[in-house]
Amino acid sequence: MRQNGSVSLGLTPRTSGHRMPHSQILIPPLFVLLWSSAFIGAKFGLPDAEPMTFLAIRFALVAALFAMIALALRSPWPASWRQAGHIAVVGALVQGIYLSGVFVAIDRGLPAGLASLIVGLQPILTALLAGRLLGERVRGRQWIGLALGIAGVAMVLGERLEATALDPVGLATCGFGLIAISLGTLHQKRFASDMNIVTGSAVQNLTATAVTLAGALALETLSVRWTPTFVLSLAWMTVVVSIGAFSLLMLMIRLGEAVKVSSLFYLVPPTTAVLAWLTFGERIGILGAFGIAVAALGVALVVRPPAKEAGRS
């Protein structure tokens, strides 16, 4: 997911002056709901499989699905091994390492809503790293956004620390995942922004399969209990989230909503928090709710295009 410019699936966002038809007005909220549900799906499935084992199975299935779609559509594959290598690096960082960090964190007891909030700061970190690594100008409001994002997370963390102890390893792996997705986003922006969406996604998920399988072989037992809950969780994460949410994202971009897509991602943490409360009883107090709102405002300041660019969209 490349939040500061859409997604990490290789989109080169198109902009247009067309507005989304009223008949399709539910597409953005449905996308946010499906994307947010990934954190809930992870928590449902992890009791029956270790985190990287779970991910290796999921990525293998998603890679196979995208490969079949690519064959059906006769989509072009990377033109060179160099291009394929850059796409693979993005897949390792954005899919393999990022999601491994999130899954390990949730597996170790980190609340799904808090995990979503931490990695939801990705647009802020990406914008700041872009200033260092790509020479892009970091505007004053983006620095304000950074401060607000950190303050929001601190509020939620403070409330959680008062209620119960948080696993430091889980916090660390979630933070590591945040760094990985930010670096992967920048790598894609610089070296792989023109990849074909379908075949590029197949390569990315195949690479992520290799990364998570290696981690599972080194650190886990590869045991899986194929319970109905695990199968449903795996199916949801593979088909509904990876394919369904992805398809909605593509549809929004085709409808000329690319400029607005990145703003949808700061709705993910509060949506995840609500879903986690409904499904697992993860309660958020007044301070935590205010922290989520503050962090969302910080991300909004970072991803909002400059006035002139917004005026052209």
- Domain coordinates in residue numbering, the chain: 28-305
Tokens (6 digits) for 118:
């931490």
Tell me how far apart the alpha carbons of residues 23 and 29 are, in angstroms, rounded to a whole number. Answer: 13
Higher pLDDT, 54 or 119: 54
- Per-residue pLDDT of 67-93, as tens digits, reads 999 999 999 999 999 999 999 999 999
CA distances for 227 relative to 23, 199, 234, 311, angstroms: 39, 32, 11, 52
Q: What's the CA dihedral at 220, 223, 228, 234 to 10 degrees?
A: 40
- Per-residue pLDDT of 255-266, as tens digits, reads 654 445 556 666
Tell me how far apart the alpha carbons of residues 60 and 206 are, in angstroms, rounded to a whole number. Answer: 6
Instruction: Check: CB of residue 264 under 8 Å from CB of residue 290.
Output: no
What is the pTM for the complete model shown?
0.79
- Per-residue pLDDT of 174-226, as tens digits, reads 999 999 988 988 888 888 878 888 999 999 999 999 999 999 999 999 999 99
CA distances for 309 relative to 7, 143, 197, angstroms: 19, 19, 25
Tokens (6 digits) for 141:
């409001």
Q: What is the DSSP letter of 306?
A: P
Tell me how far apart the alpha carbons of residues 45 and 34 are, in angstroms, rounded to a whole number. Answer: 16
Residue with tokens 């991602």: 265
Cα torsion 290, 157, 122, 48: sign:
negative
> How deeply is 309 buried, as exposed, middle or buried, from its count of CB atoms within 10 A (0-12, 13-18, 19+)?
exposed
CA distances for 174 relative to 56, 248, 290, angstroms: 18, 26, 21
pLDDT confidence of 3, banded at 50, 70, 90?
very low
- Per-residue pLDDT of 114-133, as tens digits, reads 888 888 777 777 777 776 66
CA angle 13, 16, 18 (to 5 degrees): 130
Residue with tokens 């989304």: 20
* Buried-exposed string 222-257: b where 16+ CB fall within 10 A, e elsewhere: eeeeeeeebeebbebbbeebbbbbbebbeebbebbb
